[in-house]
Structure 1
Amino acid sequence: MRILFAEDDESLGELTEHQLQRRYHSVDWVRDGAEAKTCMQAGAYDVYVFDWMLPDSSGIELTANARAAGDKTPILLLTARDAVQDRVLGLRTGADDYMIKPFALDELDARIHALARRGDSVYRPDQLQVGELSANPARYEVTRGGVPVALTRREFQLLVCLMRHAGQVLSREQLLDHVWGIGAGVTLNTVDATVKLLRKKVDGPFAAKLIRSIYGAGYRLAVPNGEKAHV
């Protein structure tokens, strides 16, 4: 699902973004309220995750603005504040859930899924579709034209990343960050090798080739003419 994540702490933001991406979410991480407001106006998200304190704003202010504008996207607030009155303020302002820092990433992921299930969002659970190519992250299943495609864990993560950004060119550096993570100790050659293996399985038996190399830029998963990706 698509998540807007507002957090100004660089180390926490980087870790949380990466871990959510590893769980097959598409995450837009912003560092301040101004960036968050721009993203909220520009795109549809399934869940907002806002830190309480931001350099130029607060999660409370972002929540209040969203609700005043009629935005019903589920909102989860993150904060070090644990007083009852703070939790009450967040919920009364329009937040749907509240987590105290430090938090477990598995619990954050579970709460995000719970909010998306009950919220008025655009969330489509557990299914990605680009043309005849389908992936189900929850079941770890891939099919193309109804034919099962067996992938390794890393190949699957790479495919999901490409499908989430179908039609967009992703650099090798972006793929390395999204799939392996910063500090993983692998090189860009590893990205190229994994793409090559993925191609053999996803494109090899089929006439239409979906995974394209864009010279000097990276890789792109092609969307068939006249069709839309459902991610």
Structure 2
Amino acid sequence: MHILLVEDDPKLGPLIQYKLNQEYHTVEWVSDSELALDYLQQTHYDLYILDWMMPKKSGLALCEEIRASNDQTPILMLTARDAIDDRVTGLTKGADDYLIKPFAFEELLARIHALARRITAGLYQEQTYEYAGIVLHRQSHEVRRDGQLLALTKKEFQLLEFFLRNAEKVLTREQIINYVWGLDATITPNAVEAAIKLLRKKVDDGFSCKLIHNVRGIGYRLYLPKENERV
């Protein structure tokens, strides 16, 4: 899952990020709600983990703002508030689940997996992406082009999903790094180019029409050229 973690604790934030990355999630960590809003405008996430008590704008206020924008992405609240009234408040303001600090990492992971099951059951977002003969199923991690099964690695699957979500749009290398590896990743443009090359080999080789295209000086896009169009 692609997760945005909003936690102002300088020790807990990177620790959660590290542990979840070890579980094959892609986690971006920010330390305040205002910065989180900037991230939300740039990238699509599968889950938000919000700390309730933060300076300037609380996680609860951020939760309300997210829901007011009609963003239905699942939200898991982290808080030291354990009173029933507080829990009810968090849920009524739009949170999907609630975890009281201090907590065991195993419980956090279990709650994330529970929310992931709701996502894959289709309760929050569409699970199939289609474009130009490519069909990607998020739940089964199955991808086909014109009925032919494509064997993709985890990163290749994430790359192709990002392309499909933004079909025909030009994606910069920075946008691709942010989505697939995370904003804090030390990934070079050459590494992105190598990853795209491997994905293109699996998606385009053997097909007369090529779909993954370089956009000189900017990045890449998934695009089905029109008849006689040069790209």
Q: TM-score, normalised by structure 1?
A: 0.66
Quote the residue 1:209 is aligned against.
210
Instruction: Find the aligned partners of 1:180 and 1:44 in 2 and give their Cα distance.
Output: 13
Quote the residue 1:50 is aligned against.
50
Unpaired segments of 5 or more residues in structure 1?
Answer: 226-231
Task: Check if 1:142 corresponds to 2:143.
Answer: yes
Higher RCO structure, 1 or 2 (CA under 8 Å, sep 6+) = 1
Where do 1:148-163 residues align within 5 Å?
148-163=149-164
Instruction: Find the aligned partners of 1:72 and 1:120 in 2 and give their Cα distance.
Output: 13
Contact 1:8 1:32 in 2 (8 A): no
Please identify, of 6-15 and 129-138, the stretch whose mean Cα deviation from structure 2 is larger.
6-15
User: Secondary structure at the residue paired with 1:198?
Assistant: helix
Q: 1:172 to 1:134 in 2, by over 3 A?
A: same
How far 1:111 sits from its partner (Å)? 3.5
Q: What CA deviation, in whole Å up to 9, does each residue of 1:160-200 have, x standing for no partner?
A: 23223333333334434543457766643232222122212
Instruction: Find the aligned partners of 1:78 and 1:161 in 2 and give their Cα distance.
Output: 26
Contact 2:75 2:94 in 1 (8 A): no
Instruction: Find the aligned partners of 1:195 and 1:174 in 2 and give their Cα distance.
Output: 13
How far 1:206 sits from its partner (Å)? 1.8
Instruction: Find the aligned partners of 1:115 and 1:91 in 2 and give their Cα distance.
Output: 16
Quote the residue 1:228 is aligned against.
none
Q: What CA deviation, in whole Å up to 9, does each residue of 1:132-174 have, x standing for no partner?
A: 1112233232111111122334333332232233333333344
The count of corresponding residues between Structure 1 and Structure 2 is 218
Q: 1:80 to 1:191 in 2, by over 3 A?
A: same
Please identify, of 103-112 and 178-187, the stretch whose mean Cα deviation from structure 2 is larger.
178-187
Q: TM-score, normalised by structure 2?
A: 0.66
Give the root-mean-square deviation of aligned CA atoms. Answer: 4.5
Contact 1:33 1:58 in 2 (8 A): no
Contact 1:24 1:137 in 2 (8 A): no
Instruction: Find the aligned partners of 2:32 and 2:66 in 1 and give their Cα distance.
Output: 18
Quote the residue 1:109 is aligned against.
112
User: Secondary structure at the residue paired with 1:50?
Assistant: strand
Supply the AA of the counterpart residue of 1:151. Answer: L
User: Secondary structure at the residue paired with 2:116?
Assistant: helix
Instruction: Find the aligned partners of 1:38 and 1:153 in 2 and give their Cα distance.
Output: 23
Supply the AA of the counterpart residue of 1:219. Answer: Y
Quote the residue 1:84 is aligned against.
83
Unpaired segments of 5 or more residues in structure 2?
Answer: 227-231
How far 1:202 sits from its partner (Å)? 0.8
